[in-house]
Structure 1
Amino acid sequence: MVKYSIKDLEKYSGIKAHTIRIWEQRYNLLVPKRTATNIRYYDADQLRFLLNVSLLIENGYKISQISKYSEDQFNQELKTVIGEEKLEFLDQHVNVAINELVLAMLDLDERRFEKVLGSSLLIRTFEKTLTDIMYPFLKRIGAMWRTGEVSTAQEHFIYQLIRQKIIVAIDGLMMPPNNAEKYLLFLPMSEFNDLLILLFTYLLKNRGKQCIYLGADIPFKDLQKVTEITKPDVLFTFVKAPAAKIDTQAYVYELSEKFTEKRILITGNPYFMEELEYPKNVQLVSEVDDLIDLLED
């Protein structure tokens, strides 16, 4: 069983730890569990409950009111809040949608995922749904996975749902002209999570760029052969696996040296990517907005 500290609850719910403690004391909202050594912790059900409380508060409910609800009343209010008559609310409070996606992931609930996605698409384009909701959600998953708050199975479940949607959306885009700028997108050896690079592929193709997507785990010699054949203008890669900083730096240098005439974009592990040195033909893309800004310059 995963154990959450009060700081974890603060991080995932957006509610300050001090506020959570006050709610515990004043309203008996949560009753922390304790380890054999008397350390306070919370379980997954309590995290889900607090995320739902956060959702109600975002919709104007008072904590004094929420604390008096029976379980049935609480669930009924939740249904009212996330019902179709409230879809426009998601446009104003993106965090609500992200919290709902967290719950869908934790509960392995595809229906909840589809409802959040469908709600967003009624009031946003697919691209805005990706950049405003899915991308921040993916960043939150990364934080949860690294600290053990989400299992590999839960992560894979939600990744595959999002991945399917992006692939379908890419297939629905018009073929760019032959003279459009050409991007070669790939993941290096031992990189297998292609979700973010697929997201970038959609952004590029949606702006009329040619995209050659190689997928995951591409050996360097194969990358060189493909580059010779396809002659892309830009190489775009993603490095996130738990490689050492020195290994990632060496890979950046190797890309720069082997493809001196190419522009290279790279994104990846936020913990040390900004600390690396980048040759003139290599540029770091730290956030999705960085890529959008590059494309609009």
Structure 2
Amino acid sequence: MASILDYSDEPRFNINSVAKLTSMQPVTIRAWERRYQLVVPKRAANGYRLYSERDIAILRWAKRGVEQGYPISTVNSQLKDAIKKNAWPEAVLNDKSTVAVHPARTINRSELVQNFTKALIRHDERMSSDLFADALGSLKLADLFESILIPALVDIGDRWERGEIGVATEHFASQFIQTKIMAIYQSLPLHPSCPKLIIGCAPDELHEIGPMMLAILLRDAGYKVEYLGPDLPLDDLLIYVREEMPKMLILSATMKASAEDMIRFSEKLSGLKPSVAFGFGGAAFILFPDLQLKIDGHYLGPSISESIKKINNLFPLKNK
């Protein structure tokens, strides 16, 4: 998980914006500045305070400590000590129900998956949110995705196919998880000076949770990631890639027809100068493995963790 240090220190936000982003009162923010120098905003030409993304991350982290029962003076001392040791804390996400911390206890993953699945099937948003926050606070992101969220989604999908639940319930579960993980994606630092990766779904592909998870883990690892979403028109995508020239374009396909669309597209992409690497994956390439050899690019493997390893090998990050 990204540390507070990973966030930009460029002053950009006024105090009202910071108050909304942190769910704090402006008077509390000013008090923490004045009494503890928790954050030290810059001043704009008009005299207004301007805060950075790092200031916001610090305030979120301090707020969570206070919510957990620690005095703000203690939280401030912990932060200052950590900074002196160059051991910046991990960042708190912008979903106020979730926080990134080192695992504090062992959880029963099988039991958590069962309870989370049951809550989603009941459309119990509050319980689902509590269980999601519990998992996020106890697991690394990759473990959260591969040992909790994906098994829950698979179970719900199987129940829908067997006629045990309706399409509304399957959509509720998918949308709930998608919304939660998008909040994580948007909370992570952008890494503007690192290798850029563009990620999305092939034409007619609407199943985007998998590629979204990949985008989150790559951004968390330190890459500059741009996630474009589902059902990308390939002709327009080629124009955009030619303009942006990322290090790699990554597309996901669960349907055979969508995967086959990538064959011709990969040939066009390979003609770009300078070259842009093409990565691909998804259920279609597991069900129809012969397609892996027909695409001019890098098959990233059957799992998210394997995809991360292959991308790390292709584009190693400096100082990581």
TM, length-normalised to structure 2:
0.58
SS for the counterpart of 2:292 is coil
Are residue 258 (structure 1) and residue 264 (structure 2) matched? Answer: no
Structure 1, residues 140-177: CA drift from partner, whole Å, max 9, x if none? 33333344333221111111211121121112111213
Paired residue type of 2:180: K
Deviation at 1:198? 1.2
Are residue 199 (structure 1) and residue 209 (structure 2) matched? Answer: no
Are residue 293 (structure 1) and residue 309 (structure 2) matched? Answer: yes
Picking from 291, 298, 314, the partner of 1:282 is: 298
Question: Structure 2: 5+ residue runs without aligned partners?
Answer: 1-102, 314-320
Are residue 124 (structure 1) and residue 139 (structure 2) matched? Answer: yes
Write the distance in 1 (CA, Å) between the matches of 2:261 and 2:306: 22
Paired residue type of 1:293: K
Match of 1:15? none
Write the distance in 1 (CA, Å) between the matches of 2:203 and 2:261: 11
Deviation at 1:272? 1.3
Write the distance in 1 (CA, Å) between the matches of 2:142 and 2:158: 23
Match of 1:113? 128
Match of 1:170? 185
The change in CA–CA distance for 1:175 and 1:284 in structure 2 (over 3 A counts) is closer
The change in CA–CA distance for 1:103 and 1:205 in structure 2 (over 3 A counts) is same
Once the two structures are superposed, the pairs formed by residues 135-214 of structure 1 within 5 Å of their partners are 135-178=150-193, 180-214=194-228
Instruction: Confirm or deny: 8 A CA contact 2:197 2:250 kept in the other structure.
Output: yes
SS for the counterpart of 1:191 is coil
Instruction: Confirm or deny: 8 A CA contact 2:263 2:296 kept in the other structure.
Output: no
The change in CA–CA distance for 1:237 and 1:149 in structure 2 (over 3 A counts) is farther
Instruction: Confirm or deny: 8 A CA contact 1:90 1:120 kept in the other structure.
Output: no
SS for the counterpart of 2:106 is helix
Structure 1, residues 72-102: CA drift from partner, whole Å, max 9, x if none? xxxxxxxxxxxxxxxx999353111111122
Query: Structure 1 residues 126-135 or 200-209, which shifts more?
Result: 126-135
Paired residue type of 1:281: G
Cα RMSD for the two superposed structures = 2.5
SS for the counterpart of 1:150 is coil
Match of 1:272? 287
Structure 1, residues 3-22: CA drift from partner, whole Å, max 9, x if none? xxxxxxxxxxxxxxxxxxxx
SS for the counterpart of 1:155 is helix
Structure 1, residues 231-272: CA drift from partner, whole Å, max 9, x if none? 1111111112xx4x4x34532312321111332222222661
Deviation at 1:277? 3.4
The change in CA–CA distance for 1:258 and 1:176 in structure 2 (over 3 A counts) is same
Instruction: Confirm or deny: 8 A CA contact 1:234 1:264 kept in the other structure.
Output: yes
Instruction: Confirm or deny: 8 A CA contact 2:202 2:262 kept in the other structure.
Output: no
Deviation at 1:195? 1.6
Percentage of pairs with the same residue: 22
Instruction: Confirm or deny: 8 A CA contact 2:197 2:225 kept in the other structure.
Output: yes
Deviation at 1:103? 0.7
The change in CA–CA distance for 1:91 and 1:288 in structure 2 (over 3 A counts) is farther
Match of 2:22? none
Instruction: Confirm or deny: 8 A CA contact 2:153 2:173 kept in the other structure.
Output: no
Instruction: Confirm or deny: 8 A CA contact 2:188 2:220 kept in the other structure.
Output: yes
Write the distance in 1 (CA, Å) between the matches of 2:258 and 2:298: 13
Instruction: Confirm or deny: 8 A CA contact 1:90 1:96 kept in the other structure.
Output: no
Once the two structures are superposed, the pairs formed by residues 39-50 of structure 1 within 5 Å of their partners are none
Instruction: Confirm or deny: 8 A CA contact 1:238 1:266 kept in the other structure.
Output: yes
Paired residue type of 1:196: G
Instruction: Confirm or deny: 8 A CA contact 2:300 2:307 kept in the other structure.
Output: no
Deviation at 1:224? 0.8
Structure 1, residues 113-156: CA drift from partner, whole Å, max 9, x if none? 12211222332234432232112322333333344333221111
Higher relative contact order (CA 8 A, sep 6+): 2
SS for the counterpart of 1:277 is helix
Write the distance in 1 (CA, Å) between the matches of 2:151 and 2:175: 17
Match of 1:51? none
Query: Structure 1 residues 268-277 or 156-165, which shifts more?
Result: 268-277
SS for the counterpart of 1:91 is coil
Write the distance in 2 (CA, Å) between the matches of 1:262 and 1:273: 25
Structure 1, residues 179-223: CA drift from partner, whole Å, max 9, x if none? x22111122222223222111110110011111222122111111
SS for the counterpart of 1:276 is helix
Match of 1:215? 229
Paired residue type of 1:252: M
